[in-house]
């Protein structure tokens, strides 16, 4: 099986850019490949694995942050936006990585974290040094209430109040995440220009775009009004949690779209670059981030498959609601897992993880794969005394640590799964010698082989990569839809339940050949009319012309 860049029966028309038909792969650099034996992944390590990614068939790597950082939030607290953290290597390594990625015809996206810096960033050190420092207004400072208490009721996503008292200057500063991650004041034009300069720096180097961290957080209500409580929230009023309030004033403010537009304009000033926004919002709000006349993010990340219950009716209606809400000329995208949420195989089990992979790679829209999902990696149980994620440490009773989904990539049966010569920063699962790339590579029944076949089919088919989507029907067990382009039509039927199911569309029938199935023995069989599926089965049927 040879992977080349999308081989279509007929070239898709020029209106499609690489990210329309490409597949994105998220690399969590700490955990991908360690090259220097310190137990933490690095850029040189990633370079040694590029051939694997090319073999897998993905088109674009997105790297979680690799910049200098005190690592209070594992790199999402940046102290220098233009450097490389020594843990990951240096700028020479980065340049080499970029050119090696490009040499293979792939793209590289960086993680831009514009909403907040580290509290060790020189901008914040200046800002907190005195009330009249020229950078004071680069962050969100406010007096306390008359009794000295916090300016409003906003909470940190990671627990506790979002305001931190600064004794030296006698004011509070706002931090949506850790107190070590003060939020920038994006209403200040100097902040805007400084961050656009950061983008320019990397775009000039040739990176292919950015995934923008918490894009919907960037602007807050100018009056800092209290967020309203969620009606009947189950939480403890004495100890409220972030989810007990509706963040209607602390996030998703109308002015954010001007900021996104500025970022997009800059991105578009360079050839063929991509702007993705990390946004957790309901569909009607999410799609506003495409911007008026598509002047916003190219792809506001669509996390529905990651947040919704795995229920056929819910998933089917969410797909259709999303398709229906997309603004004219915008392009969809789908994400199954990331470094903040439990892995797909842990949420659904391994059999349904294959169905999820089929869904991700046969829906209309750019798919993002999280490293390790292609071998069915599951969340690794991390003993309490080994938890390092601040979200887990701050809320110890809630089992919300993100460490389990960030463990090292399992490459081989060797020591530390081939990830590192030394003890890795997070432990591996006990079954790592059994569940790894090397074992699965030559096993035609493995999750890895299944992913690779799916990717290969998608890349070779205009219908599957850029073709139209139309729902057929869904019921309490299955969902089904068509993908079509030129004279090629695929019917996808996915059984989201463990019990056998019958595909019985009303007033019509479909005849075709099974091109891919979770039950490999069925590949090549002809099906017609009522199609019977096993529990946990997914079918990709090429419809007869
Ligand atoms: C979203 C990132 O994905 C997450 O890992 C991080 O903790 C927060 N943003 C804060 O930057």
The pLDDT, as a whole number, for residue 345 is 98
Among candidates 76, 375, 93, which has minimal Cα distance to 211? 76
Beta strand pairing call for 478-485 and 468-474: antiparallel
pLDDT tens, residue by residue, 323-351? 999 999 999 999 999 999 999 999 999 99
Is the model's pLDDT at 383 over the cut of 90? Answer: yes
Section 128-135 average pLDDT? 98
Element (H, E) at 305: helix 304-307
Closest atom of ligand 1 relative to the 115 alpha carbon: 11
Is the model's pLDDT at 126 over the cut of 60? Answer: yes
Structure tokens at 109: 């996206």
pLDDT tens, residue by residue, 412-435? 999 999 999 999 999 999 999 999
| Measured distance CA(220)–CA(140) in Å, rounded | 10
Q: What spacing in Å lies between the alpha carbon of 76 and ligand 1's midpoint? A: 6
**Sheet holding 478-485: strands in order across?**
468-474, 478-485, 488-495, 538-543, 511-517, 526-528
pLDDT tens, residue by residue, 144-201? 999 999 999 999 999 999 999 999 999 999 999 999 999 999 999 999 999 999 999 9
pLDDT band at 238 (very low <50, low <70, confident <90, very high): confident
Q: Which of 42, 208, 278, 379 is catalytic?
A: 278
Is 278 among the catalytic positions? Answer: yes
Is the model's pLDDT at 239 over the cut of 90? Answer: no
pLDDT band at 8 (very low <50, low <70, confident <90, very high): low
Atom 8, ligand 1: residue with shortest CA distance: 76
Section 221-245 average pLDDT? 91
Is the model's pLDDT at 516 over the cut of 60? Answer: yes
Within 6 Å (CB) of ligand 1, which residues are found?
A: 73, 76, 113, 177, 213-214, 278, 339-340
User: In 336-407, where do the E strands start and end?
Assistant: 366-370
Q: What spacing in Å lies between the alpha carbon of 118 and ligand 1's midpoint? A: 13
pTM: 0.97
pLDDT tens, residue by residue, 445-454? 999 999 999 9
Q: Which of 213, 323, 456, 488 is catalytic?
A: 213
Is the model's pLDDT at 7 over the cut of 80? Answer: no
Is 213 among the catalytic positions? Answer: yes
Cα angle vertex 203, ends 197, 208, to 5°? 145
Average pLDDT of every residue of the chain: 96
The pLDDT, as a whole number, for residue 2 is 43
| Measured distance CA(6)–CA(367) in Å, rounded | 14
Instruction: Provide φ and ψ at 62, rounded to 5°.
Output: -110, 125
Atom 4, ligand 1: residue with shortest CA distance: 340
Section 48-54 average pLDDT? 98
Instruction: Provide φ and ψ at 120, rounded to 5°.
Output: -95, 0
Tell me the chain's radius of gyration from C-alpha atoms. 24
Q: What spacing in Å lies between the alpha carbon of 75 and ligand 1's midpoint? A: 9
Closest atom of ligand 1 relative to the 177 alpha carbon: 10
116, 122, 124, 130 alpha-carbon torsion, rounded to 10°: -170
The pLDDT, as a whole number, for residue 14 is 61
Section 377-392 average pLDDT? 97
> Which has the minimum average pLDDT: 114-118, 219-223, 286-290, 394-398?
394-398
pLDDT exceeding 90 applies to what percent of the chain?
A: 95
Structure tokens at 244: 């007990």
Section 308-337 average pLDDT? 98
Is the model's pLDDT at 517 over the cut of 70? Answer: yes
Q: What spacing in Å lies between the alpha carbon of 213 and ligand 1's midpoint? A: 7
pLDDT band at 1 (very low <50, low <70, confident <90, very high): very low
Any bridge partners for residue 479, and if so which? 474, 494
Q: What is Dmax (Cα atoms) for the chain?
A: 76
For ligand 1, pick from 340, 401, 403, 406 the residue to mutate: most ligand atoms within 8 Å of CB. Answer: 340
For ligand 1, pick from 67, 110, 214, 390 the residue to mutate: most ligand atoms within 8 Å of CB. Answer: 214
Atom 11, ligand 1: residue with shortest CA distance: 76
The beta-carbon contacts of 396-403 under 8 Å, at least 24 apart in sequence, are 402/339, 402/340, 402/341
């Amino acid at each position: 099986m040879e992977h080349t860049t999308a081989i279509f029966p007929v070239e898709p028309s020029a209106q499609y850019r690489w990210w329309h038909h490409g597949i994105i792969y998220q690399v969590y650099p700490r955990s991908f490949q360690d090259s220097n034996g310190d137990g933490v992944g690095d850029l040189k390590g990633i370079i040694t694995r590029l051939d694997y990614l090319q073999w897998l068939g993905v088109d674009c790597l997105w790297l979680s942050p690799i910049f200098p950082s005190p690592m209070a939030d594992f790199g999402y607290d940046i102290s220098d936006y233009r450097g490389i953290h020594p843990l990951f290597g240096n700028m020479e390594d980065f340049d080499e990585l970029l050119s090696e990625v490009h040499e293979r015809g792939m793209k590289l996206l960086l993680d831009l974290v514009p909403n907040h810096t580290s509290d060790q960033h020189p901008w914040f050190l200046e800002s907190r040094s005195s009330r009249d420092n020229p950078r004071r207004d680069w962050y969100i400072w406010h007096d306390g209430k008359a009794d000295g208490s916090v300016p409003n009721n906003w909470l940190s996503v990671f627990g506790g109040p979002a305001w931190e008292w600064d004794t030296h200057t006698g004011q509070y500063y706002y931090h949506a995440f850790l107190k070590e991650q003060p939020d920038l004041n994006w209403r200040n034009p100097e902040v805007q220009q400084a961050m656009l300069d950061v983008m320019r720096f990397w775009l000039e180097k040739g990176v292919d775009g950015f995934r923008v961290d918490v894009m919907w957080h960037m602007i807050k209500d100018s009056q800092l009004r209290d967020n309203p409580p969620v009606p009947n929230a189950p939480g403890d009023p004495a100890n409220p949690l972030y989810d007990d309030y509706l963040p209607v004033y602390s996030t998703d403010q109308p002015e954010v779209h001007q900021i996104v537009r500025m970022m997009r304009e800059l991105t578009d000033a360079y050839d063929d670059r991509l702007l993705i926004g990390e946004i957790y919002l309901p569909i009607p709000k999410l799609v506003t981030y495409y911007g008026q006349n598509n002047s916003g993010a190219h792809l506001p990340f669509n996390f529905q498959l990651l947040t919704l219950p795995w229920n056929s009716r819910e998933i089917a209606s969410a797909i259709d609601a999303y398709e229906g809400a997309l603004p004219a000329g915008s392009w969809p995208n789908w994400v199954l897992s990331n470094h903040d949420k439990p892995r797909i195989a842990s949420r659904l089990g391994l059999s349904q993880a294959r169905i999820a992979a089929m869904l991700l790679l046969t829906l209309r829209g750019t798919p993002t794969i999280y490293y390790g999902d292609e071998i069915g990696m599951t969340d690794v149980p991390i003993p309490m005394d080994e938890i390092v994620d601040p979200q887990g440490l701050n809320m110890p009773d809630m089992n919300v640590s993100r460490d389990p989904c960030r463990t090292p990539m399992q490459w081989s049966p060797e020591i530390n799964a081939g990830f590192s010569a030394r003890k890795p920063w997070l432990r591996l699962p006990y079954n790592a010698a059994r569940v790894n790339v090397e074992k699965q590579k030559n096993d035609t029944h493995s999750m890895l082989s299944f992913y690779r076949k799916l990717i290969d089919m998608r890349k070779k088919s205009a219908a599957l990569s850029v073709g139209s989507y139309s729902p057929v029907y869904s019921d309490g067990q299955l969902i089904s839809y068509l993908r079509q382009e030129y004279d090629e039509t695929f019917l996808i039927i996915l059984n989201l339940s463990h019990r056998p199911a019958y595909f019985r569309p009303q007033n019509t029938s479909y005849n075709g050949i099974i091109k891919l199935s979770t039950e490999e023995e069925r590949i090549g069989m002809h099906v017609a009319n009522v199609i019977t599926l096993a529990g946990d089965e997914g079918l990709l049927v090429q419809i007869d012309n």
